[in-house]
Amino acid sequence: RAAAEAAARAAARSVRQLAQSWQAVLPAAALGRALGRVAAALADHYLIPTLAATEFSAEETHFLHQLFTQVIQVEDIFTGVPSGMPTNWPKFKALAALMEWGLDDFAARLPQGHLRDFSAEELGGLVRAIFSESPRRTALLSAIHKI
């Protein structure tokens, strides 16, 4: 865990340093595209294995929430940068948030569209990985596949 936290801090620091360095030499549009690609790769580094996981303990979901929240803090580099925010960033932010949710939170947010960046397969996998088998989990999985 300490290594993962250190890596997240180092990645965030590196992205900030890149933004600062490139700001002096790149036009705003090019800066936005370049930073967007870097941030997209960083988000995918966490999104892909998390969405592929088959089981999380409560401790792991809490840790991932904290880790992802730390990485998300780099989004301020996109302030004033046209077209910089990567398309996978809202999904990454939603993943960070949902790592702290209970079944009721999922059920409440699903019809509101808060999870629209995820496919039904991805959401179903997350629900199965985070929550133990129960009638409430089964009902939520059914609701996910109806949307």
10-residue mean pLDDT profile of the chain (147 residues): values are: 93 93 91 92 97 97 97 88 84 97 94 92 97 96 91
Name the amino acid, one letter, at 94. A
Amino acid 22: pLDDT? 92
- Which residue bears the tokens 């999904």? 91
Amino acid 77: pLDDT? 87
- Which residue bears the tokens 């993943």? 95
Q: Are 105 and 114 in contact (CB under 8 A)?
A: no
Distances (CA, A) of 6 to 9, 38, 67, 145: 5, 18, 10, 38
CA distance 56 to 92: 17
Q: Which two tokens stand for residue 139?
A: 């009902």
Domains of the chain (ranges, CATH numbers): 2-146 (1.10.357.150)
